[in-house]
Amino acid sequence: MTSDLLAPLDLAFWNMESERHPMHLGALGVFTAHSPTAGAHAADLLAARAAAVPGLRMRIRDVWQPLAFGGATRETDPDFDPLNHVRLHAPTADFHAVAGRLMERPLERGRPPWEAHVLPGEDGVSFAVLFKFHHALADGLRALKLAAGVLDPVDLPERGPRAIEPPRTLLSDVRRLPARVPELVKGTLSDVGRALDIGASLARSTLGMRPSSALTSAPSGTRRTAGVVLDIEDVHRVRKSVGGTVNDVLIAVVAGALRSWLDERGDGSAGVAPRALIPVSRRRPRAAHPQGNRLSGYLIRLPVDDPDPLRRLDTVRTAMVRNKDAGPNRGAGAVALLADHVPALGHRLGGPLVGQAARLWFDILVTSVPLPGLGLKLGGHQLTEVFPFAPLAPGQSLAVAISTYRGRVHYGLVADARAVPDLDVFARAVSDEVETLLSVCEH
């Protein structure tokens, strides 16, 4: 049985989870269907292929060894059964309605923490698959690789081989401990210094910030999802007209959509400038934890209260340039790096508190999930749309994930269903904001 220790941030995700706040990623893929039985055939394929993907056989287990006390490992589940993870549902006319209910449910922690839900379409010409991966099992990049393992074969770039370390035992850890004391003390002092530096940067960056009540709520544990599809060429037209990056435009679209949505629902956008966390991947090939989350982030104020769409975009662009100049190791968005300086037992004891503190740190998550440019298929059926879903932090009402696939931008929206019963209104505002930007750029 193979196993490896969870990276610190993975351990944090594993321990901050609660019944009302499951920490799994999601992706809803919509496929064309050649027949009404295409969904059932897809479910059979997913179950048959899952057994051959090593990463899908990995469960998470607690560790109480001296050098990893309170930690956890990924290890192969000897009782792995794909049928516990792949579910075929009744036909539906609304993929997102079903996906929202499924995103509410935490993954079974005693099994490999992932699921694939196949949703046949009532129209008989489409079906959808909702993939759920616990954030401790996979970040966005690794979730993509795991999902690709059960789709039809494609040529994806492979990472270099990882050096295999001999398995550690309790006795070997005890024997190694005396010789490692000087190294551990030196490393601990260095870690404390780095942690204090990050913490001070965090404190300075969040000084005077307060949560935005418009995007925070008492948690209900319910979920609603929605999706928006944009033409990437429209985004490029805006970018070429006013400068900046594609990501700047996509974030500014969120700011403008929030403004329209808040005004339409009667909350009002005056004086609203929510803090958006923009995750930044720090993953490197051959890193110490190649399967683990390696994240930092940028924290910016979304100019929701500004009525001018071009000024909103300029404000976002300026904030992103400032964050990039400072680098992902500085500022409030770098708080994820503190996970590397917390002992395993600290994550276990403090996980719930960290989750509750998220509302004091940021108001909304806006994240990008990379996808391959080539077409993906399942059983010969073409993937036409794919909507990524991010976990919803405690006390927060809305999270936005964005992917670009085959010339189109897909916004995946997750919300607390009770706090945001009008998520479809926000989805429509996202589409309208792009049209607004195009209109002002042309004049």
323-333: per-residue pLDDT in tens?
888 776 665 55
Distance, C-alpha 434 to centroid of its chain: 24
Euclidean distance between CA atoms 368 and 232, whole angstroms: 14
Q: What is the CA radius of gyration of the chain?
A: 22
Which residues lie below 8 Å from residue 425, measured CB to CB, with a gap of 6+?
A: 261, 264, 265
| 264: pLDDT strictly greater than 90 | yes
Using DSSP's 3-state secondary structure scheme, residue 113 falls into coil
The pTM (predicted TM-score) of the whole model is 0.83
CA distances 382 to 32, 58, 86, 100, 159, Å, are: 6, 28, 20, 23, 26
Tens digits of per-residue pLDDT, 364-400? 999 998 888 778 999 999 999 999 999 998 888 999 9
Nearest of 416, 415, 412 to residue 128 by alpha carbon: 412
Tens digits of per-residue pLDDT, 285-316? 444 444 555 556 788 999 999 999 999 999 99
31 forms beta bridges with 127, 383
Q: What is the mean pLDDT of residues 241-255?
A: 95
Q: Dihedral of the CA atoms 373, 378, 382, 385 (nearest 10)?
A: -70
User: Please, what is the angle between helix 232-242 and helix 309-326, to 10°?
Assistant: 80
Side by side, the strands of the sheet bearing 24-32 are: 86-88, 114-120, 126-134, 24-32, 381-389, 377-378
| 190: pLDDT strictly greater than 50 | no
Cβ count near 432 (within 10 Å): 15
What is the reported pLDDT for 2?
53
